Structure 1
Amino acid sequence: MLFRYNLDYYTQRKSLKKVYSLLFIIILFVLGGCDDKKNKNSTIVTENTTQIVQTDKNESFPEKNISLNGNVTQIATYAFTLSDLQQKSHKGTLKDRAIFLEGINTPVVIFHFFATWCPPCAGEAPYLSDLQQKYPQELFIAGITVNDTPTREVLEKFIQENHADYYISTTLENDALATKIAEGLDLDSNFSLPLTIIYHNGKYFSHYEGAVPIEILEHDIREAIKDLKQE
């Protein structure tokens, strides 16, 4: 499996460019050396530590309505269930780039696709925990394993060693959900890990393919909360 990260920083935020560049160099230094390959039959994800890709928030995507015999139909709704080690489940629906999770009332939701064998994913875990603790009323983070079927022991070790104190789903449905979301974002099926998607009020806000400095992620969370207050 090839390892790669793509880079596309906020070009419109010139005042932060130097800071982000420095943080990016630090990230590479800390998380570098990912030259071990994870052999999997699935071609869902790859892992790499060289570049970061982040789309502009609220990026416009082409419509994907399906035409049957000349009639345009609505995109089908995909149902899924997240479930953690304590068997705490959240049923959800996905339609194109919009999501709904039962029992989750926070205005901002983050889906963080990761694998226990991915060093950059482990590196981001404690910072995600900090964000979850900092914004308990506004934010719900769902770590979602992909291309990975860790045993309970392996996952508990990952959580403990990396202080991953947020919701983590390990169901067999995760790979299918990842594929559906990747299709909606026009991502290659072989997308990079970690993959982080921000939603506000169920609507797509922004996403990052690859490791991302915590300052950038928190900036987008603040922007999402700010936008919601203005609606």
Structure 2
Amino acid sequence: MFKKTILIISTLSIFLLGGCSKKDDANDMVSKNEFVLTGLDKKEYVVKQQGSGFVLDGAKEKIVIFDIFATWCPPCQDTASHLTSLQEKFKNDVIIIGLTIEDKVANSKLTEFATKNHAKYILVNSDQNRRLSDAIVNELKLGERYPIPLMVLYKDGKLVNHFVGVTEEEFIESEIKNALGK
């Protein structure tokens, strides 16, 4: 009787654990190409990797600019007001998402960065930030120790261009206009 009970428990355990393992593998396959980001505005933004590009759900035919930055970085602070200006100029055609590379930065610190540097675009603070930043950088082949700020422009999942370091607003604006056909 005891052996029979152990055999039944062992068999059930194998099926249950084996089933979970397969399900987790399937979820991992989906999550490797999908990034769920939480903004300071408490909204969720879903970014999917398609080939070598990245697409923001709900941003069809818009240019998505990922600003990869850190709150402590002076060039990143300088860039924030320029990105805000571009967001205002192209409010119907451009979505800017600020991805901090800092792990577990407090929302209050990110809010302080936004206020002090006039960053009036989407800032996300999620455990997915670093993973998405690394995926973008990997596609650009910039190496593990990439410089910031890094601004990467995509339209419909296709790379438009990227800029490293403090970049004149006019250069980014020119790329936006070209991508929009203006």
- The reply to whether residue 209 of structure 1 matches residue 164 of structure 2 is yes
**1:128 aligned residue:** 83
The answer on whether the counterparts of 1:93 and 1:99 sit within 8 Å (CA) in structure 2 is yes
CA distance in structure 2 between the aligned counterparts of 1:122 and 1:149, rounded to whole angstroms: 19
**1:162 aligned residue:** 117
1:83-94 aligned at under 5 Å gives the runs: 83-94=38-49
What is the aligned counterpart of 2:154 among 196, 199, 205? Answer: 199
Kindly name which structure, 1 or 2, has the bigger radius of gyration based on alpha carbons: 2
1:3-42 aligned at under 5 Å gives the runs: none
Shift >3 Å, 4+ stretches? none
What is the aligned counterpart of 1:218 among 169, 173, 182? Answer: 173
The answer on whether the counterparts of 2:50 and 2:157 sit within 8 Å (CA) in structure 1 is no
Following superposition, the deviation at residue 86 of structure 1 comes to: 2.4
Following superposition, the deviation at residue 78 of structure 1 comes to: 1.1
Sequence identity percentage: 32
The answer on whether the counterparts of 1:108 and 1:221 sit within 8 Å (CA) in structure 2 is yes
**1:144 aligned residue:** 99
Letter in 2 for 1:180: A
For 1:192, what is the secondary structure of its paired residue? coil
Name the TM-score, length of structure 2 as normaliser: 0.78
The answer on whether the counterparts of 2:77 and 2:117 sit within 8 Å (CA) in structure 1 is yes
Following superposition, the deviation at residue 175 of structure 1 comes to: 0.7
Following superposition, the deviation at residue 198 of structure 1 comes to: 0.6
For 2:166, what is the secondary structure of its paired residue? coil
For 1:191, what is the secondary structure of its paired residue? coil
Following superposition, the deviation at residue 187 of structure 1 comes to: 1.1
The answer on whether the counterparts of 2:48 and 2:55 sit within 8 Å (CA) in structure 1 is yes
- The reply to whether residue 179 of structure 1 matches residue 113 of structure 2 is no
Q: Which runs of 5+ in 1 are unaligned?
A: 1-75
Aligned length: 152
1:93-132 aligned at under 5 Å gives the runs: 93-132=48-87
CA distance in structure 2 between the aligned counterparts of 1:211 and 1:167, rounded to whole angstroms: 19
- 1:60-91 deviations in whole A, cap 9, x for unaligned? xxxxxxxxxxxxxxxx9611012112210111
The answer on whether the counterparts of 2:103 and 2:127 sit within 8 Å (CA) in structure 1 is no
Following superposition, the deviation at residue 156 of structure 1 comes to: 1.1
Following superposition, the deviation at residue 147 of structure 1 comes to: 3.1
The answer on whether the counterparts of 1:205 and 1:224 sit within 8 Å (CA) in structure 2 is yes
The answer on whether the counterparts of 2:70 and 2:102 sit within 8 Å (CA) in structure 1 is yes
The answer on whether the counterparts of 2:107 and 2:125 sit within 8 Å (CA) in structure 1 is no
Name the TM-score, length of structure 1 as normaliser: 0.62
Letter in 2 for 1:194: P
The answer on whether the counterparts of 1:96 and 1:181 sit within 8 Å (CA) in structure 2 is no
